[in-house]
C-alpha cells in the first residue's frame, strides 16, 4: 500500500470529517514554507490536536469509515475483545444539551460490536442485551451505559469512560495484591453485585477482565451481556441465557444441584477473583477443554487459600473461603451479605492485629471481633458450655449473648451430662465441651453425649488442640458432632452453631 502525499493526507482529513480545511491549513503553517515531508506533517497535526495516533493510522490505510459513531468522534482504542472493541471518544456538539447525567461530560467510551458478528443474531442480541441491562443500573461500582444504537449495520453502546485499567491488566503487573487492597476492591465489586441483585439482575460473567479499576482505585463492574433477569412473577423461573462463556457457571450449578442462574453463583466467582488477587494464582485450573470445564472436580480440587499464601490475616481467609464454599447453603446467600462481611473485614484490618499468649504458651495473633454489633442470630436457642477456666467462660458467654444466644455455663462434665434427664425436655439445644483444661474428661463426656440414646440426636461440639492427635482420633464425630480447634475463634464457633442449629425450633424465652 503506497503512502499518500502530504496534500492527499490533508485532503483525507477533511474528507472523513475530522477537521475543516482551515484547521488543517493552520496546523500545516507550523512547517517551513519549503517542500513538506509527510512525517513532519503528521507530527504537526498531532501536536495541534487535529489527529490522534489511531486516526492517523486509519487515514494512512485509506479507511473512510470508523471515525465517528453517531455523534461521537473516536480518539483512541482502549480495549479489544473477541466480540467488541472499546474506544475513547468525545461528544460532538454543545455539551450543555446532553441529558442531565451526562451533562458536562466531554469524554465517553464507545463499545462497538465487531463487523463479523453483526449478522449473527445470537451475538447481536447478547450485545444489545448488555446495553438494555446497563440502562437499568446506576451505581458507583457499575460502569454506566447511557445510550444504545441498535442499528444492525452499526451497533454500539455509549458508556461512562473510566480512566484506569481492567483488574486483569492490574494483576499482570502485580504478583499479588496486599490484603487491604484486595478486600477494598472486592467490597466495591460486591457493592455493584448487590445493587444489580436489588434490581433482580445477576451478572453471570464474573472475571478479572470484567472489572475496571479507576485511577482513584475504585472497582467498577462492566459487561452485563450474559446477565440473567429474574422473573419476579415466578421466582422459580430465571431468564434463559445460553452462551459458551457461561460454561463455568453451568458446571458449578450442575455440580451443586441448584437451579440455573442461581444468584449465589456470582458470589462464588467473585470469591475466585478475590482468591487470585490475594494469591496471584487462579483458584480453578485453567483449561480450554469443554468437558474438563464442565467437570465438578475442578471446584472440588481448589487448594485452600491459606495453603497458597501462608501469611494472610485470618479475617481475609474467612471471607474468601465462605464466598467460595462449594455447598451453596454454606456460601454467602446474597451479595449484600458478602458486601457487609467485607466491610467488617476492612474495619478489622484497619484496627490491626493484637497479640496474646495462647494456652500452649505461644503468641497468638488475632484481629478484633465485631462483637460490638449485636445481632439476634441465636435468639430462641440455648447453648450449654462446659468449661472450667473462668476467663474462657466469661469470653464465650459474652460473645454468644451478644448474638442472642442464652448461655448455660457449667465447669463439671459429669454435672453437665446429668442435666439431660430422659424424662424432661433437654435444657440446651447444643453442648460445647472444652478440653482446654478438662482434657480427657471433656472428650469422654463428648463421646457419651453422642452415644446415650436420649442425647444422641442433640448437637455437640468439642474444642480441642489440633496437636492432640490421639484425642482427635478418639472423638466420635458425625453429622451432629463437630470438632473445633483451640485456641478458640468465636467466629468459627458461631459458624458451627449456626449450621448445627439451622433446623432447631426456636424457644419462647421468658
d(CA 303, CA 20): 61
Q: Would you kindly state where each structural domain of the chain is located, as residue ranges?
A: 6-61, 72-160, 176-343, 374-500
What residue numbers does the annotated binding site for ATP cover? 111
What residue numbers does the annotated binding site cover? 111
- Whether the CB-CB separation of 472 and 483 falls below 8 Å is answered with yes
Cα-Cα end-to-end distance for the chain: 90
Q: What is the pLDDT along the chain (510 residues), one digit of tens a residue?
A: 688 999 999 999 999 999 999 999 998 888 876 667 899 999 999 999 999 999 999 999 999 999 999 989 999 999 888 888 999 999 987 655 445 566 657 899 999 999 888 888 888 888 888 888 889 899 999 999 999 998 888 899 999 999 999 999 999 998 899 999 999 999 999 999 999 999 888 888 899 999 999 999 999 999 887 776 554 344 443 333 345 567 888 889 888 888 887 889 999 999 999 999 999 999 998 777 778 788 888 999 999 999 999 889 989 999 999 999 999 988 999 999 999 999 999 998 988 776 555 555 555 566 666 444 456 788 899 999 999 998 889 889 988 988 889 999 999 999 999 999 999 999 999 999 999 999 999 999 999 999 999 999 999 999 999 889 999 999 999 889 999 998 888 888 988 898 899 889 988 765
Q: Can you give the pLDDT at residue 58? A: 95
CATH node for 176-343: 1.10.510.10
d(CA 288, CA 280): 20
* Strand order through the sheet with 107-113: 68-69, 72-80, 84-91, 107-113, 156-160, 145-149
d(CA 260, CA 102): 37
C-alpha atoms less than 13 angstroms from C-alpha of 375 in its C-beta half-sphere: 10
d(CA 141, CA 162): 11
H/E element, 72: strand 72-80
Q: Can you give the pLDDT at residue 361? A: 55
pTM of the model: 0.67
Length of the chain: 510
Please name every residue paired with 201 in a beta bridge, in sequence order, or none if there are none. Answer: 229
CATH node for 72-160: 3.30.200.20
Burial of 50 (0-12, 13-18, 19+ CB in 10 A): buried
d(CA 95, CA 158): 15
d(CA 133, CA 224): 6
CATH node for 374-500: 3.40.50.2300
H/E element, 276: helix 264-279
Please name every residue paired with 112 in a beta bridge, in sequence order, or none if there are none. Answer: 85, 156
Cell of 302: 481448589
Which phi and psi angles does 278 have, rounded to 5°? Answer: -80, -35
Which phi and psi angles does 390 have, rounded to 5°? Answer: -60, -45
**CB environment 2-40: b (16+ within 10 A), e (fewer):** eeeebeebbebbeebebbeeebbeebbeeeeeeebeeee
Q: Can you give the pLDDT at residue 132? A: 87
Please name every residue paired with 377 in a beta bridge, in sequence order, or none if there are none. Answer: none
For the chain, what is the total number of helices (H) and then of strands (E)?
A: 20, 18
- Whether the CB-CB separation of 136 and 146 falls below 8 Å is answered with no
**CB environment 206-231: b (16+ within 10 A), e (fewer):** bbbebbbbeeeeebbbbbbbbbbbbe
Amino acid at each position: 500500500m503506497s503512502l499518500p502525499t502530504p496534500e492527499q493526507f490533508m485532503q483525507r482529513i477533511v474528507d472523513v470529517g475530522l477537521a475543516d480545511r482551515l484547521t488543517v491549513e493552520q496546523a500545516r503553517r507550523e512547517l517551513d514554507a519549503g517542500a513538506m515531508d509527510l512525517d513532519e506533517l503528521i507530527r504537526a497535526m498531532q501536536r495541534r490536536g487535529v489527529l490522534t495516533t489511531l486516526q492517523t493510522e486509519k487515514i494512512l490505510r485509506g479507511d473512510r469509515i470508523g471515525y465517528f459513531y453517531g455523534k461521537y468522534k473516536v480518539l483512541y482504542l482502549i480495549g479489544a475483545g473477541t466480540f467488541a472493541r472499546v474506544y475513547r471518544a468525545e461528544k460532538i456538539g454543545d455539551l450543555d444539551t446532553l441529558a442531565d447525567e451526562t451533562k458536562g461530560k466531554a469524554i465517553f467510551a464507545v463499545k462497538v460490536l465487531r463487523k463479523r458478528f453483526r449478522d449473527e443474531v445470537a451475538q447481536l442480541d447478547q450485545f444489545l442485551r448488555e446495553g438494555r441491562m446497563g440502562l437499568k443500573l446506576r451505581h458507583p461500582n457499575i460502569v454506566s451505559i447511557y445510550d444504545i444504537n441498535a442499528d444492525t449495520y452499526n451497533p454500539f453502546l455509549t458508556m461512562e469512560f473510566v480512566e484506569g485499567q481492567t483488574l486483569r491488566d492490574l494483576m499482570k503487573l502485580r504478583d499479588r495484591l496486599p490484603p487491604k487492597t484486595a478486600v477494598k476492591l472486592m467490597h466495591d465489586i460486591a457493592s455493584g453485585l448487590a445493587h444489580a441483585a436489588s434490581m433482580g439482575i445477576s451478572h453471570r460473567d464474573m472475571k478479572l477482565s470484567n472489572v475496571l479499576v479507576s485511577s482513584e482505585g475504585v472497582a467498577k463492574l462492566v459487561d452485563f451481556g450474559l446477565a440473567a433477569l429474574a422473573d419476579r412473577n415466578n421466582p422459580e423461573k430465571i431468564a434463559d441465557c445460553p452462551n459458551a462463556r457461561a460454561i463455568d457457571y453451568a458446571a458449578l450449578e450442575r455440580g451443586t444441584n441448584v437451579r440455573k442462574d442461581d444468584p449465589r453463583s456470582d458470589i462464588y466467582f467473585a470469591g475466585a477473583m478475590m482468591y487470585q488477587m490475594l494469591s496471584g494464582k487462579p483458584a480453578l485450573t485453567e483449561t480450554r477443554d469443554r468437558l474438563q470445564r464442565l467437570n465438578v472436580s475442578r471446584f472440588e480440587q481448589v487448594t485452600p487459600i491459606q495453603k497458597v499464601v501462608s501469611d494472610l490475616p485470618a479475617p481475609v481467609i474467612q471471607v474468601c473461603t465462605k464466598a467460595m464454599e462449594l455447598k451453596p447453603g454454606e456460601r454467602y446467600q446474597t451479595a449484600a451479605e458478602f458486601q457487609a462481611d467485607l466491610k467488617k473485614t476492612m474495619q478489622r484490618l484497619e484496627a490491626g492485629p493484637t497479640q496474646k499468649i495462647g494456652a500452649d504458651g505461644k503468641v497468638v495473633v488475632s484481629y478484633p471481633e465485631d462483637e460490638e454489633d449485636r445481632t439476634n442470630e441465636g435468639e430462641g436457642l440455648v447453648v450449654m458450655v462446659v468449661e472450667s477456666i473462668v476467663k474462657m467462660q466469661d469470653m464465650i458467654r459474652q460473645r454468644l449473648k451478644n448474638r442472642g444466644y442464652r448461655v448455660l455455663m457449667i465447669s463439671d462434665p459429669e454435672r453437665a451430662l446429668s442435666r439431660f434427664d430422659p424424662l424432661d425436655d433437654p435444657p440446651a439445644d447444643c453442648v460445647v465441651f472444652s478440653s482446654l483444661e478438662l482434657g480427657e474428661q471433656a472428650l469422654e463426656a463428648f463421646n457419651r453425649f453422642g452415644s446415650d440414646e436420649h442425647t444422641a440426636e442433640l448437637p455437640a461440639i468439642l474444642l480441642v488442640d489440633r496437636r492432640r492427635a490421639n484425642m482427635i482420633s478418639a472423638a466420635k464425630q458425625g453429622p451432629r458432632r463437630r470438632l473445633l480447634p483451640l485456641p478458640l475463634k468465636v467466629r468459627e464457633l458461631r459458624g458451627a452453631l449456626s449450621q448445627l442449629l439451622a433446623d432447631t425450633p426456636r424457644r419462647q424465652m421468658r
